[in-house]
Structure 1
């Protein structure tokens, strides 16, 4: 369940203003497959998930930790780094991390995984794989090309929004297979680790119950899963998740301000 209590006021040095901290995320009694979303740069959400995972482990759970931040071809390097004496989050990131992520956000959950000997699973399809999938199709790379039209329409709309309107629906439809492949691969990894339980850490777009990873889980696994979106105040997409929790927005420049029109 998600527990919402009274909110105290804290001072955020990063934001330079007073903010209300989010309610706790209580995962006790949750099903064995947990999909925890995020806005990638929201520090409060990362702290919230780390606290929730720590409490889950204190209660005896030992799920696999599936992370969007690692690409599937990095699994061998990730396993070797985790098995090395005196492994630390920094050594994992050095061995298998890729650019584009603010790694201090993820170090606390990696530390928990190492301390409790959790499998750390690379759950993403790389950008190079994604380019090949866009060019050659899902089935050419072992993914399911039978994409329901309602799911495709939702993915196209999300990509258009993500490009701030600089990409039209036809261009977004050509890009959608890459996102769909990622969702399918994450669903497969959840299924592989379902017997022991698994926690997937991924962006909210992947965790959406209407168009993300849950759509690619078999019915038996979907029944054992819970998709939780961690959203910022003002985000009205809570209905796209099994559960949703709002946090204060992370101060950031307008992401659309400097975005050039995408090449079609």
Structure 2
């Protein structure tokens, strides 16, 4: 099952007022492209806080300014390993992922696609079917715990139409359970755990960041004694995703790998890009975090605080409206209370 993550909501950005009149807005009037690019940002399916000035902005944290969708595509084309994030139940995130993947295909790329939502113990047909729904049936998607397949259909339709190599990018169900309960050596086997560098501790500062990410990712509600095992499991999943992403590149005629995963797995400091750099420092990674806007975050620094970092820990962040105003931490709290009384 995917982890329950606190959901970002809408923000009113006040810093760098020049953004409001140049690259902040996604409209053609404020940010003209060359005419070739149009996409989901012109017609959001999610509506909550869609009028926030940050919605549609593609922010480059290192450069400290916004970029256009065309500049984003150029950077995608230059990457050996491209990582496309998501909030799992936000339909606009999957539409943006499908658009980015289609842009690569239209420009002659044939990347291998590694997907967090597919496990190695699921049945991945060979050859792949032409129909996304046939793929969903083969994977028994309805019983995986992920959001409904309709959200992912645009992405898989793009991949199947282009006949892209498709790889699982997660632990098998039993591996995940055993890793969480008994550790990575028990879950993955000693040889594979060693090959992934998981039998050695992370540097202390990175381990602390990862533990805090897990703590915040579960709303600060988990018992402190549970955090080390959860962080170790998260580390193992990130390493396995990095391994799958690199394998996807090896399956690609154009020598490019693309990962589809939750945005939390794409942070460059402690997650999949970190492991990909460990495994293949010669390969260029490019991580795109898709984030919903949030009303309690008046500046970009407040978004960075969510990740406990001075700047947003991605190569690029694309802001979208949010799906709902549900308090997911309250939901998790209620779920844990029910479990405690069962």
Contact 1:231 1:247 survives alignment (8 Å)? yes
Contact 2:81 2:286 survives alignment (8 Å)? yes
Normalising by structure 1, report the TM-score: 0.85
Residue 198 of structure 1 corresponds to 257
Contact 2:121 2:173 survives alignment (8 Å)? no
Contact 2:183 2:229 survives alignment (8 Å)? no
- The CA deviation string for residues 27-68 of structure 1, in whole angstroms up to 9 with x for no partner, is 223312101111112222221121111111000000011111
Normalising by structure 2, report the TM-score: 0.67
1:55 aligns with 2:103: yes
Larger RCO (CA within 8 A; separation ≥ 6):
2
1:18-37 to 2 correspondences below 5 Å: 19=51, 22-23=56-57, 24=69, 26-28=72-74, 29-37=77-85
Hey, what's the Cα distance between the residues in 1 that align with 2:220 and 2:96? 32
1:121-200 to 2 correspondences below 5 Å: 121-140=167-186, 141=188, 142-143=192-193, 144-148=198-202, 149-195=204-250, 196-200=255-259
- The CA deviation string for residues 164-184 of structure 1, in whole angstroms up to 9 with x for no partner, is 222133211122222111111
Change over 3 Å in CA distance of 1:90–1:154 after alignment to 2: same
Q: CA deviation at 1:128?
A: 3.1
Greater gyration radius: 2
Q: What is the number of equivalent residue pairs in this alignment?
A: 257
- Which runs of 5 or more structure 2 residues have no equivalent in the other structure? 1-21, 28-40, 58-68, 295-302
SS of equivalent residue, structure 1 residue 27: helix
Residue 43 of structure 1 corresponds to 91
1:1-264 to 2 correspondences below 5 Å: 4=23, 6-8=25-27, 15=47, 19=51, 22-23=56-57, 24=69, 26-28=72-74, 29-74=77-122, 77-80=123-126, 82=128, 84=129, 87-96=130-139, 97=141, 98-140=144-186, 141=188, 142-143=192-193, 144-148=198-202, 149-195=204-250, 196-218=255-277, 220-221=280-281, 223-234=283-294, 235-236=303-304, 237=307, 239-260=312-333, 261=336
Hey, what's the Cα distance between the residues in 2 that align with 1:259 and 1:246? 25
SS of equivalent residue, structure 1 residue 175: helix
Hey, what's the Cα distance between the residues in 2 that align with 1:158 and 1:240? 12
Contact 2:180 2:230 survives alignment (8 Å)? yes
